[in-house]
Chain A
Amino acid sequence: MSAEKQIWVWADYRNYFQSRVTLQILARASVLAEKTNAAVCAVVFGDKVDAYVKEYIAHGAQKVYVTDDPSLKTYNVASYAFLLTSLVRRFAPETLLIGATRFGQEIAPRAAKQLDTGLTADCIDLDIDDAGQLVQVAPSFGGNLIAKIITPHTRPQMATIRPGTFQERPHDDDAQGEVITVPLPETMPSPRVRCLKSELRPARARKIETADIVITGGRGMGSKGKFKKLFDLADLLHAEVGATRPVVYADWVSSEALVGQAGKHIKPKVLFSFGVSGAIQHTAALADARFIVAVNKNPNATMMKLADVALVADANQVCSGIIRALKQRIRD
């Protein structure tokens, strides 16, 4: 049982992306630890995980709890949750943070229930309040509502953290950390879930869903021929083109381009919306677009109200205008 306060970060390292999330959380944990005079600890389960242990120390972990065993080579929710729970019961950390990767979102609730403690999902911020409690900030309703949550009576305070929320600290080769090896318990739960196959296979290039710039076109473009011009603009902007449902039904573009509740969700840094009125089935998929430029003849269209910048004009004319402007302005 440790006397000091500990903030634990369960290490998710299975692929590059998951590992980044762990580093991001370690960075935030370091900030929180300073406020509460706590120690930042990483928790690593797996087979031959030395390299990760070193990595996490270099990114802010002052202690690393490691259970290294061939039987832990493949991620397994039940085994890992069991290990995590036993460790928590032994060392009683104040806080346990897990990345909101899919695996994280499977293991965290099970561990929380085993420990009968509270868990907040997909936090976009973490802070410490005056009473030293962890304030967990989590979105709901597609980000339309933000809640501040605390876990007043139970410990550890648990939260999963949305990837990309925090910035990882630079790798510090000189950082020192204590490695605590925890042997595999004698009795592990018998595996009731068997993994028959696990292949690293990144999702088929989900271009529009991961594109930084997206152009969407609605019926306001006028015709199939005019809609095609959006692709010219896309070439210049290195953007992907999406469409609303009426456009897909009118066969101006393939159904692959459908952006909406029943189609693709996008989260571009910049969204250009041409001639889109803004039906709710479409705008629901735009919640994560950071900066929206909307063009529509009708200033009262819903899409115009959602935009950062709304241009009241014919969508075609503005599309041509932007193409001209880009050609002049792009520095080579």
Chain B
Amino acid sequence: MLHIIVCIKQVPMVSELPWDSKTGTLKREAAQGMMDPSARRALEAALQIKTGMGQNQAHIIAVSMGPPMAEEILYEAKALGADQGVLLTDPCMAGADTCMTAFILGKFITGHCPDAGLVLCGSMSSDSETAQVGPQLAEVLDIPAIGYARRLELVGNCIRVERHVDDFMELMEMDLPGLVTIDHAGESDLYTPRYVALGGVETAFKAGDVRLMDGAALGLDKNFNALTSSPTKIIDVYSPVTGKENRVLTGAVKKMVDTLFDDYGKIISSAMGKDLKTHDHEGDV
């Protein structure tokens, strides 16, 4: 039986960015959440491995560290086919950076998944985009890791991973237990996530609760505080000044087009790598 642990995360839906400037952390509760698309791909890979192995040959545990509302994505994971869902949630975990997140996930896996054979993560989440938790978790668990997988193949107690990194096509292999992060979509993508089937949602809620674990259940020190333990500190957060003037042109088409080239011709021509005449040059041949 192959025990697969999939690390997933709830991220805010694209248009919402509620930021708490007092604590320097994301107000995750204020935004509508969804399962991080990268993690969803990791779950898809796990589901395909399970299908490929046949009846009762693989067991998938979806685990996430997050606020109470993140429980929803664990049910979503179950709806998609994960056998079990676990949410690590405790106020002391708030504000964890990648180092602390890897530590906490590691506590769960080491303490409660002794048979873990394969740990799957997304390569990079859509919110923080650090791509660090996977490798750091492997370090915490002291297992080998391969990142940016495009295709996975189980060969005995080994896993073969095809990946495309920095223009190199590589075929890697490692003995399990090991950790793999799944790449974003590329050509001939294998791990495009399937949609959740409605019957799956119904079954997910019938088949038993998502397990909630707080700091004490994980064996964290009672004074543990992820925010203060994180080696990196955010000192400021801001929306980038886009410098977009959002100039609106109206009127006759020819006039607008002329204005476009007169005022912005340089930008266009430099992108083209060609010279463009503007009205100043009308005197030229």
Q: Which residues of A contact B (CB under 8 A)?
A: 14-15, 17-18, 77-78, 101-103, 105-106, 108-110, 112-114, 116-122, 135-136, 139-154, 192-204, 212-213, 237-238, 262, 268-270, 280, 284, 291-293, 299, 304-314, 317-318, 321-322, 324-326, 328-331
Which chain A residue lies CB-closest to B254?
A321
Which chain B residue lies CB-closest to A199?
B169
Question: B148 touching A325 by the CB < 8 A rule?
Answer: no
Q: Which of B147, B267, B268, B273 is the most central at the interface, judged by chain A CB atoms within 10 Å of its CB?
A: B268
Question: B140 touching A308 by the CB < 8 A rule?
Answer: no
- Report how far A265 CA is from B185 CA in the complex, Å: 11
Question: B136 touching A112 by the CB < 8 A rule?
Answer: yes
Contact of A192 among B14, B144, B233, B236 (CB under 8 A): B144
- Report how far A311 CA is from B256 CA in the complex, Å: 7
Question: A196 touching B167 by the CB < 8 A rule?
Answer: no
Given contact pairs A197-B171, A201-B167, enumerate 14 new A-B contacts (beta carbons under 8 Å).
A77-B147, A117-B231, A119-B99, A140-B127, A192-B178, A193-B174, A194-B173, A194-B174, A200-B167, A292-B244, A309-B247, A310-B248, A313-B253, A331-B277
Tell me, rounded to whole Å, the shortest Cβ–Cβ distance linking A148 to chain B: 4
Task: Assess A291 versus B257: contact at CB under 8 Å? Given A146-B240, A198-B170, A312-B250.
Answer: no
Which chain B residue lies CB-closest to A269?
B271
Question: B99 touching A318 by the CB < 8 A rule?
Answer: no
Question: A317 touching B260 by the CB < 8 A rule?
Answer: no
Task: Assess A121 versus B130: contact at CB under 8 Å? Given A102-B148, A293-B260.
Answer: yes
- Report how far A299 CA is from B282 CA in the complex, Å: 32
- What is the 8 Å Cβ interface bit string for chain B, positions 253-266, against chain A (1 contact, 0 not)? 11011101100110
Tell me, rounded to whole Å, the shortest Cβ–Cβ distance linking B176 to chain A: 10
Question: B271 touching A14 by the CB < 8 A rule?
Answer: no
Question: B166 touching A15 by the CB < 8 A rule?
Answer: yes
Contact of B132 among A109, A135, A304 (CB under 8 A): A109
- Set of chain A residues within 8 Å of B71, measured between Cβ atoms: none
Tell me, rounded to whole Å, the shortest Cβ–Cβ distance linking B228 to chain A: 10
- Set of chain B residues within 8 Å of A317, measured between Cβ atoms: 253
- Report how far A266 CA is from B135 CA in the complex, Å: 28
Question: A308 touching B237 by the CB < 8 A rule?
Answer: no
- Set of chain A residues within 8 Å of B138, measured between Cβ atoms: 110
State whether the Cβ of B270 lies closer than 8 Å to any Cβ in chain A. yes
27 sampled A-B residue pairs with Cβ under 8 A = A77-B147, A78-B144, A106-B135, A116-B99, A118-B97, A121-B128, A121-B130, A141-B127, A143-B240, A148-B236, A192-B178, A193-B146, A194-B173, A197-B170, A213-B268, A238-B274, A291-B264, A299-B250, A304-B248, A306-B244, A307-B244, A307-B246, A309-B264, A310-B249, A312-B249, A328-B277, A330-B276
- Report how far A17 CA is from B131 CA in the complex, Å: 20
Task: Assess A145 versus B19: contact at CB under 8 Å? Given A118-B99, A193-B174.
Answer: yes
- Report how far A103 CA is from B97 CA in the complex, Å: 21
Question: A119 touching B233 by the CB < 8 A rule?
Answer: no
- Report how far A101 CA is from B167 CA in the complex, Å: 10
State whether the Cβ of B90 lies closer than 8 Å to any Cβ in chain A. no
- Set of chain B residues within 8 Å of A117, measured between Cβ atoms: 231
Tell me, rounded to whole Å, the shortest Cβ–Cβ distance linking A75 to chain B: 8
State whether the Cβ of B195 lies closer than 8 Å to any Cβ in chain A. no
- Set of chain B residues within 8 Å of A203, measured between Cβ atoms: 164, 167, 186-187
State whether the Cβ of B107 lies closer than 8 Å to any Cβ in chain A. no
- Report how far A135 CA is from B130 CA in the complex, Å: 17
Task: Assess A146 versus B237: contact at CB under 8 Å? Given A77-B145, A105-B131.
Answer: yes
- Set of chain B residues within 8 Å of A200, measured between Cβ atoms: 167-168
Question: B231 touching A154 by the CB < 8 A rule?
Answer: yes
- Set of chain B residues within 8 Å of A212, measured between Cβ atoms: 271-273
State whether the Cβ of B48 lies closer than 8 Å to any Cβ in chain A. no
Question: B165 touching A102 by the CB < 8 A rule?
Answer: yes
Question: A237 touching B272 by the CB < 8 A rule?
Answer: yes
